[in-house]
Chains A and B, each alone.
Chain A
C-alpha cells in the first residue's frame, strides 16, 4: 500500500520527467539517418509519404525489385496536412523513409535538419539524368538533399469553343488579356470570366511576378533579402488589382468544388495554370473534352516567351531513415526510369525533372482532350524559358500565408494587392528573424 511519502516521491519523479526530457530537446529531427546493415535475402521495407498518385509506378517497382519493398501512404497535399505530419514525425523521431516535398518547402525542411545528406550516399553521380535547375532545388551548400521529381511550367489553358463563340482573340500579351477579359464578360452576358483569381494561393500568384522578372527572395552573404515590392512585382500587382476591381475575374479558390464547377459550366473560359493542371481539368471537367487548348502565358513584352514555374516537387529522404542507400535507389528509379515516367505522366504528376526527349515520350503526343493539340510542346517552350534564378526562403509556408491572408482581403473588397504585398514584406522579414536568421527588406 503506497504511503503518502511514496506517493510524493512518485509525483516528484513524474514532475522531474520533463526536465530530464528537456536535456534531450532536439532543435531538428529527433533521429539521424544511419545505414542499417543489409543481411542477404532479407527484404527491406520502405515507407513513402506522398499525395501524388504514383501508386502504379511504385507497384511496378515492387514487382521488379522484390528485395526492396516500398509502401505508399497517402498524406494530405503539402500544407493541408502533409508537411504538418512530416514535421511532427521528424520531431518524434519516427519519420517515413521517403516523402514528397515541394521545391519551395525544401529550405524549410533543411532548416530543421529534416533531410538526409544524399551526397554521402553517392547521389551526385546521378546529377546528369536531371534538368539542372530542378536538380539545384535540392542542393544546399554544395551537397544534395533531394532528388527532383517534376515541375510546373506555366501556360494559359483556354476554352477554344467559347473564345470562338464570343469572337475573342487568344491573348498574347497581358494588355490583350485584359481586353479579352472585358469582352468575355460582356459577350457572355456576365455569365463567364476569362479566369478565376484564387484569393488564397500565393504560389499561383507568385508565378506572375516571377515571369515579370521579380525575385521575392535572394541572399546576400548570410542575410536573406525580401523583395516583394520591387517595381516588377508592383506592376503585376497593379495589373491584377485592375482585374479584381473591375470584376473581370472569378474570385474562386482553385482546386475546390466551386472552381471545378466553373470549369465544367464554362463560367471560366480560361486559366493561367501550371502544366500539371492538365490532369486536374481532364479529371474534373470530363464533359469539356476536346474544347480545351493551351497557349503560352500572356507576355509583358510582345513576342517574348518569358515564363515561370508553379509547383514542382522532389522525392526527399527524410532524416532518421535506416535505409538511405535503398531509398536513394528507389527515388532515382522512380524519377528517371522510362517505364516509371510513363506511368507518372499518365497519372498527371507534372513536368518531368528527368532529362527527356519530348518526341519519344507520351507527353509529346497529341491529346484528344485538348482537341488534338500536342499541348505539351507549349509547355516545353515555357519550361525552357523559366527564370531559374528564382529562390525560395526557409519560411515560405508561413510567409506566403501572410500574402494569402492579405490578398484574400483584397478580393473581399478591402485594399489593394499592391498594399497587400508591401504589408506582407514586413511580416516576411519578421518570420525569418523569428527563426534566428539574418534578414532585411530590399528597399
Chain B
C-alpha cells in the first residue's frame, strides 16, 4: 500500500515530505522490534507507577471498637501527600541524601575519572588486570558490601578501630555525626569502579590520531588529559553523574543493612527507607505510595535539571 501511494507521489514530492516518508516506514518496523521491550517496560515500569499514583490517593477507613472492625478503602485526595510533607523526619531524609550526594557524587566521580585516566596511561597488560580489580567491588551485592564494611566499623570488632585505638584515636564510625560518611565510603567503594569503566569505555573510543596530533603540537600527558581527554569524555561524565544522582536519592539497601548495627540510622534516614517502613512495617502502603511518588518527582527534577544545565552549557560552548 505504501509503495503504490509513494510511487504515485514520487515526482511532485518536495524534499521535506520525502524525508518524513523515509522516516515513517522504518518507524513501523522499529515498533515491532521495540514491542517486546515495550511490553515488559509497560508491565514492569509504567503500570506500577500508575498504580502507585492511584494508591497514593487512597486511605483506609476504620470503624468498630477501637478501629479494629472491618476496614474499608476510601478516596483520600491529596491527604497522604499532605501527611508525608508534614513529617519533618521524612523531609530531613531528603536533606540528608542531598547532602550525601553533594559530597559523595563529586568525590566518587573524581576518583573514577582519576583511575580511568591513570589506567589509560599504563600498559595494556596491567591495565586489564587493574581494571578488573577496581571493578570487582561492583560485582559484590550492596547488602554484602555493607555487611563487610559494617564489621570494619563496629567498635570492639573492627580492626580499623583497634588500630586507630592504639594510636590514641577513638573513632565512632557509626555515630550520629559520622554514619552518613561511613555510608558514603561504602557507596564510593562499590561504585567508583563501575563509573570508572564507563569512562574508560569512552576513553577507548577517542581516535588515536588526536593524541598523535596533540603530541606533535607539543602537549604533555597533563595537557592531553585536560584538553583532549576530559572534554571528549564529557558525555560519559554526564551519564555517570545522572546515574549517581538518581542512585543517591534512592539510597536504601546500604542504610537498611547498616541500621542493624547503627542506631543512628533512623527509620526515616533516607526517603526510600521511610517509604519502605511505612509500606511494610507500618502496613500503610498508601502513605508509602505518596512518599515514593514524591521521591520520583524529586529525582526527575534533579536529573532533568542537571541534564538541561549541562546541555545549555555545551550549546553555549559550541557557539
Contacts and interface: CB of A to CB of B under 8 A. Distances in A.
Does A associate with B in a complex? yes
Interface in A85-142: 85, 87-88, 91, 107-108, 110-113, 140-141
Contact of A113 (B47, B70, B177, B284): B70
A431 B283 CA distance: 12
Nearest to B65: A141
Nearest to B61: A436
B267 A405 contact: yes
29 contacts: A14-B42, A22-B54, A25-B55, A25-B58, A27-B61, A27-B73, A84-B280, A84-B281, A91-B285, A111-B71, A113-B71, A140-B68, A199-B263, A200-B263, A222-B65, A253-B261, A253-B263, A257-B151, A257-B156, A257-B157, A397-B282, A398-B277, A401-B277, A405-B263, A408-B264, A434-B284, A435-B60, A436-B60, A436-B62
Interface in A426-443: 431, 434-438
Interface in A230-262: 252-253, 256-258, 261-262
Contacts of B122: none
Interface string B266-296: 1110000000011011111101000000000
Contacts of B67: 111, 222, 394, 435-438
Given A257-B151, A258-B155, A412-B176, A435 B284 contact: yes
B62 A435 contact: yes
Given A141-B65, A401-B277, A405-B267, A256 B154 contact: yes
Contacts of B280: 83-85, 87-88
B283 A7 contact: no
A351 interface: no
Contacts of B175: 412
Interface in A69-87: 79-80, 83-85, 87
Interface string B10-47: 00000000000000000000011001000000110011
A409 B261 contact: no
Contacts of B156: 252, 257-258, 261-262, 267
B17 to A, nearest CB: 20
Contacts of A434: 83, 284, 287
A219 B60 CA distance: 21
Contact of B282 (A88, A253, A395, A404): A395
Interface in B249-267: 260-261, 263-264, 266-267
Contacts of A412: 175-177, 264
Contacts of A437: 62, 66-67
A15 interface: yes
Contacts of A401: 266-267, 277, 281
A397 B281 contact: yes
B136 to A, nearest CB: 25
A188 interface: no
Nearest to B80: A434
Nearest to A434: B83
Contact of A14 (B47, B70, B89): B47
B222 interface: no
Interface of A: 1-2, 7, 11, 14-15, 17-19, 21-22, 25-28, 79-80, 83-85, 87-88, 91, 107-108, 110-113, 140-141, 198-200, 219, 222, 224, 252-253, 256-258, 261-262, 267, 394-395, 397-398, 401, 404-405, 408-409, 411-412, 414, 431, 434-438
B263 A111 contact: no
A267 B157 CA distance: 13
Contacts of B71: 27-28, 111-113, 436
Given A112-B71, A398-B281, A434-B83, A258 B154 contact: yes
A108 B263 contact: no
Interface residues of B, number: 51
A188 to B, nearest CB: 16
A80 B260 contact: yes
B126 interface: no
B261 to A, nearest CB: 6
Contacts of B267: 398, 401, 405
A15 B264 contact: no
Contacts of A28: 70-71
B5 interface: no
Interface string B49-91: 0110011001111101111101111000000000100000100
Contacts of B263: 198-200, 253, 404-405, 408, 411
B73 A224 contact: no
B62 A21 contact: no
B89 to A, nearest CB: 8
A224 B66 contact: yes
Nearest to A14: B42
Contacts of B260: 80, 256
B258 to A, nearest CB: 12
A257 B260 CA distance: 11
A261 B264 CA distance: 21
A27 B60 contact: yes
A419 to B, nearest CB: 16
Contacts of A27: 60-61, 71-73
A18 B47 contact: yes
Contacts of A21: 51
Contact of B68 (A111, A397, A438): A111
Nearest to B31: A7
B308 to A, nearest CB: 29
Interface pairs A-B: 4 shortest CB-CB: A200-B263, A84-B280, A408-B263, A27-B71
A262 B64 CA distance: 49
B69 to A, nearest CB: 8
A252 B35 CA distance: 55
Contact of B66 (A7, A18, A219): A219
A112 B42 CA distance: 30
